Amino acid sequence: MDSSGQRYDVICDPLDMWTVWDNQADEPASFGGQMLYGLTEGHAVEVAKIMNELYGRDRGADHASRKQPGTGRLLNAGGHRH
């Protein structure tokens, strides 16, 4: 399930319903206390994409050290330049 290298992936169950899978926790992902399963494929893909952008593996605890692409300028957690 971790073929993409992303923290969140999507999987299809035998009933053609989709689950957002958390590869780090090795269980279905949850958001706001709701398990992300029983979704349409399109919804699951969009949710996984958003979850990876927000909480993916490449997002370390130190958000302040992120650089603005192409400039080398540092961004703070809100995405603003330092």
Q: What is the pLDDT along the chain (82 residues), one digit of tens a residue?
A: 545 689 999 999 999 999 999 999 999 999 999 999 999 999 999 999 999 999 986 554 333 334 444 554 544 444 444 4
> Which residues form the domain of 16?
8-59
- Who's near 21: CB < 8 A, 6+ residues apart? 1, 8, 9, 10, 11, 27, 28, 29
Residue at 81 is within a domain: no
Interatomic CA distance for residues 71 and 81, integer angstroms: 10
Residue at 80 is within a domain: no
Q: How many residues does the chain have?
A: 82
Domains contained in the chain, number: 1
